[in-house]
Amino acid sequence: MTSPEERLSELGLTVPDVVPPVAAYVPAVRSGAHVFTAGQLPMRDGELMATGKVGGSVTPEQAAECARQCALNAIAAVKSVAGDLGAVSRVVKAVVFVASTPDFTGQPGVANGASELLAAAFGDAGVHARSAVGVPVLPLDAPVEVELVVELSE
């Protein structure tokens, strides 16, 4: 059986180091069989991939790529608590926040960047419930933020 990390490798991706928190919180917490991640920003190599609002200075395509990076960072946060991504039995829910202009209504398309990566990494176990929420601003002026709830096998 192919592991999540092998699937990501097939996409040319690796699980990054955990992104350090920007305030007083931890990247992920385990409670029973579930791991809850903090909101993950589109950080790559220590910097935001983009800043600004979707529908303004950030295109929907750029935002979807940011959502994908957020999901990858959330996977890293899960791994930091679970130890092994093979322990993930189900991605339960993803919440995708999209900082957007008032007239932008494509939040679900942006959120697909995260959802498609999770399905690619975890197969059927990566198909999840999801909320895609438009907001006026996110930390550090990031265009997207993603948080996950995953279930671990006993």
Condensed to tens digits (0 to 9), the pLDDT of residues 57-81 reads: 999 999 999 999 999 999 999 999 9
Residue 122: what pLDDT? Answer: 97
* % of the chain residues with pLDDT over 70: 99
Residue 22: what pLDDT? Answer: 87
Of 49, 50, 43, residue with least CA distance to 20: 43
Residue 154: what pLDDT? Answer: 74
pTM over 0.85: yes
One-letter amino acid at 106 equals G
Residue 94: what pLDDT? Answer: 98
Please tell me the distance from the alpha carbon of residue 54 to that of residue 60, in angstroms, as a whole number: 6
Low-confidence ranges of the chain (pLDDT < 70): 1
Q: Sign of dihedral through CA atoms 130, 128, 34, 114?
A: negative
CATH 3.40.50.300 fits 4-15+29-152, yes or no: no
Q: Sign of dihedral through CA atoms 149, 27, 7, 94?
A: positive
Please tell me the distance from the alpha carbon of residue 146 to that of residue 144, in angstroms, as a whole number: 7
